[in-house]
């Protein structure tokens, strides 16, 4: 499998682990606040699997995990599954994580047998309005995610997509979730981020519904 980009060392993309970060190109959503906007369109993936394996081999004592992100990894479902199989055979102790926007419940169901951690974005209560995507598919993905052993749901606090009035309903939808990460929106347009207090208020609401709630301010 080829990748579009390789960020060789990350301290924040796998909880409490040092990871190497692989990017795929192409995404089936068009989020206004996307921080990897250059990866929305499918591009030529030139980073080879061989080069990734060579990097890991040289740094096995440093790297704990491999994270595949994007773009949207679910567009590469079979390729990622096969890549994880080969990765586990070559590096049995290496942890594997995949990020997804939640648009494919089947991807979550399939890849859960190969990934040690799945991270899914929950962007808004109004997918049809803002992202032209059916909300019921996202809800199905959340249900599939809850069946997995190790997962997290990430909520980026973009004010155009999430308002404080939405907090109680989002909490109800996420009732019983194991891990939720609330992360601050990094300004990429003229929409100003929420103040930290708003994120703390949301965190306190979600603590009534989820096992663990983490804030990234």
Q: 118 and 145 in contact (C-beta within 8 Å)?
A: yes
Options 2.60.40.10, 3.40.50.300, 3.20.20.70, 2.40.160.100; CATH for 5-216 is: 3.20.20.70
Parse the chain into domains and list their residue ranges.
5-216
- Residues 6 or more apart whose CB falls under 8 angstroms from that of 98 comprise 67, 68, 69, 73, 80, 111, 115, 117, 118, 119
Cα(36)–Cα(132) distance, integer angstroms: 19
> Could you read off the pLDDT of 90-118 as tens digits, one per residue?
999 999 999 999 999 999 999 999 999 99
Total residue length of the chain: 217
pTM: 0.95
Long-range contacts of 113-116 (CB under 8 A, 24+ apart): 114/80, 114/81, 114/84, 114/85, 114/88, 115/84, 116/65, 116/150
Segment 7-58, tens digit of pLDDT: 999 999 999 999 999 999 999 999 999 988 889 999 999 999 999 999 999 9
Partners of 3 in the beta sheet? 47
């Amino acid at each position: 499998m080829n990748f579009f980009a390789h960020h060789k060392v990350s301290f924040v993309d796998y909880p409490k682990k040092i990871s190497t970060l692989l990017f795929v190109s192409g995404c089936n959503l068009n989020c206004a606040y996307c921080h990897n906007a250059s990866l929305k369109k499918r591009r030529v993936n030139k980073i080879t699997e061989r080069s990734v394996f060579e990097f890991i081999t040289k740094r096995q004592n440093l790297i704990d995990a491999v994270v595949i992100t994007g773009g949207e990894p679910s567009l590469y479902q079979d390729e990622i599954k096969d890549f994880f199989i080969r990765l586990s055979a070559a590096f049995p102790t290496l942890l594997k994580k995949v990020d997804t926007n939640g648009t494919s419940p089947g991807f979550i169901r399939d890849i859960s047998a190969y990934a040690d951690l799945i991270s899914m974005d929950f962007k808004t209560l109004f997918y049809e309005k803002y992202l032209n995507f059916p909300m019921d598919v996202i809800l199905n993905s959340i249900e599939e995610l809850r069946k997995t052993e190790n997962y997290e749901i990430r909520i980026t606090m973009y004010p155009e997509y999430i308002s404080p009035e939405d907090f109680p309903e989002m909490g109800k939808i996420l009732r019983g979730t194991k891990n939720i990460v609330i992360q601050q929106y990094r300004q990429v347009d003229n929409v100003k981020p929420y103040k930290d207090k708003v994120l703390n208020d949301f965190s306190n609401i979600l603590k009534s519904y989820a096992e663990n709630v983490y804030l990234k301010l």
